[in-house]
Amino acid sequence: MTFRNVKARGAAIAMAVAWLFSAPVSGADTVADVIDAVQPRMVKIYGAGGFRGLEAYQSGFLVSAEGHILTVWSYVLDTEFITVHLDDGRKFDAKTLGYDPRLELAVLKIDGADLPHFDLAQAKEAEAGTRILAFSNLFGVATRNEPASVQHGVISVMTRLEARRGAYETPYNGPVYVLDAITNNPGAAGGALVNRKGELLGMLGKELRNSLNNTWLDYAIPIGQVHPTVTEIMEGKFISRPDEGQDSRPKADNPLSVKLLGIVLVPDVLERTPPFVDDVRPGSPAAAAGLKPDDLILFINDDRLIQSCKALREELGYIEREEQVKLTVIRGQELMEFVLKAN
C-alpha cells in the first residue's frame, strides 16, 4: 500500500472516529447506527483504467432492490467488463443500463434481489450548515467486504457548478452542494452524501477545479437534479432507440450516412465499438461544422443516445438526406454540439 493510501485510510478512520465520539445524538439513532444502515447500500465499482495513471475504480450506491446502481459517468465505465463488489463481499458483473453525459451520471444493473438500497423518491433537500456524512471508496481503500470510507462535514453553500477538468469546462453546470469535507479524491466520485439521519441528499461529484480560482472542489449533485433521468433509465425510457427490429419509425427513402456527412469512424471491430471520429473529409459538412478526429459522438438530435458505430449508422438511416442533423459530441472533457446538413 502506498503512503498516499495509508494516509487516506488513516484520515478516513480518524474523521469517522472523531465524528462518532463528538456528534450529538438525534433521536434514537446514533451516528454509528446511521453508518451501519448506509454501508450495505454502498458498492465498489471496477472497470477501465490503468493507462496514463488513471484509477480503474469508483464508487456507487444501490437505488433499487433489484440491483440498480447510481454512479458517475466516467471512463471507468468505458468497458464491457464492469465488476461490482457489495458491502457483504459478493461480486457481480454489471452492465451499463444508461447514462446522461449532461448530468454526468450513469445507471448500472446487477442481477440481485431484496438488496438494501436508497429510495430516490425519499431523498431530501438540504441547506447550508447541514451536517453530512460522505460515503465512498476513496483511494480504493475498500475492496471486497471492507466498509466504504466515511467522511463528515457540513454543507458550506448550495450554488451552481462552475468547474473544469483539465482545460475543459464540465458539461454539468447545475446546482451543487459545496462541502466542508475533502471528498475530491480518486475513487470517491459516485459516492453517497447523507444527512445525520442517513437520508440521501446527493451523489459525490468528480475531481474538479473551480474555474474561477483554480482550487479543488468538494461537491455533490443533489438527488433532485438526477432523479427524473435515473427513473427514466431504470424504466427503459431513456434510450437511444428501441431494440433492433422493434423501432416503429419508417426508414428514410434517401437516408443520411456517415459518408455523406464526411465522417470517417474508427474501425468497427467490436459489437459496441464507441463512435469515435477517426477522420473528417476536407470540404465535407462535418469539416464545415467543426468536427475533429477523436470526437466521440454521444447524441443525434438531442434525444437519440448513440452507443456504438453500428448504432450511429442505423440511426442515420431514419433521417432523410435533405434534413439537417445535430450531433452532440464530447471532445476531451467538453460537451459540444454541431449542426450538419449533407451537400
Q: Which domains does the chain have, with CATH numbers?
A: 3-234 (2.40.10.120), 258-340 (2.30.42.10)
Burial of 190 (0-12, 13-18, 19+ CB in 10 A): buried
pLDDT of residue 245: 42
Confidence of residue 76 (pLDDT cuts 50, 70, 90): confident
What confidence tens digit (pLDDT) does each residue in 103-144 have?
A: 889 999 999 999 999 999 999 999 999 999 999 999 999 888
Q: Which stretch of DSSP H or E encloses residue 71?
A: strand 68-72
Rounded to whole angstroms, the Cα distance separating 223 from 230 reads: 10
Over range 56-79, report the average pLDDT.
92
Q: Inform me whether the pLDDT recorded for 71 exceeds 70.
A: yes
Q: Of the candidates 184, 182, 202, which has an alpha carbon nearest to the alpha carbon of residue 15?
A: 182
**Torsion angle of alpha carbons 88, 68, 107, 123, nearest 10°?**
-90
% of the chain exceeding 70 in pLDDT: 80
Q: What is the rounded average pLDDT of the residues 223-248?
A: 74
Q: Could you tell me if 221 and 205 are in contact, meaning their C-beta atoms sit under 8 angstroms apart?
A: yes
Range with lowest mean pLDDT among 80-84, 143-147, 210-214: 210-214
pLDDT of res. 114: 95
The owner of cell 438531442 is: 302
For 325-339, the pLDDT digits (tens) are: 999 898 876 778 899
Provide the angle, in degrees to the nearest 10, between the axes of the packed helices 31-38 and 3-22. Answer: 130
Residues 6+ apart with CB under 8 A from 128: 154, 155, 156, 157, 158
Band the pLDDT of 53: cuts 50, 70, 90: low
Closest CA to 150 of 164, 173, 131, 167: 131
In this prediction, residue 2 carries a pLDDT of 40
Predicted confidence (pLDDT) at residue 24 exceeds the cutoff of 90:
no
The mean pLDDT of 47-61, rounded to a whole number, is 80
Better-predicted residue by pLDDT, 122 or 245: 122
pLDDT tens profile 149-204:
999 999 998 888 765 555 445 667 789 999 998 888 889 999 999 999 999 999 99
In this predicted structure, the answer to whether residue 25 has a pLDDT above a threshold of 80 is no
CA distance 197 to 49: 35
What pLDDT was estimated at residue 90? 96
For residue 164, the model assigns a pLDDT of 55
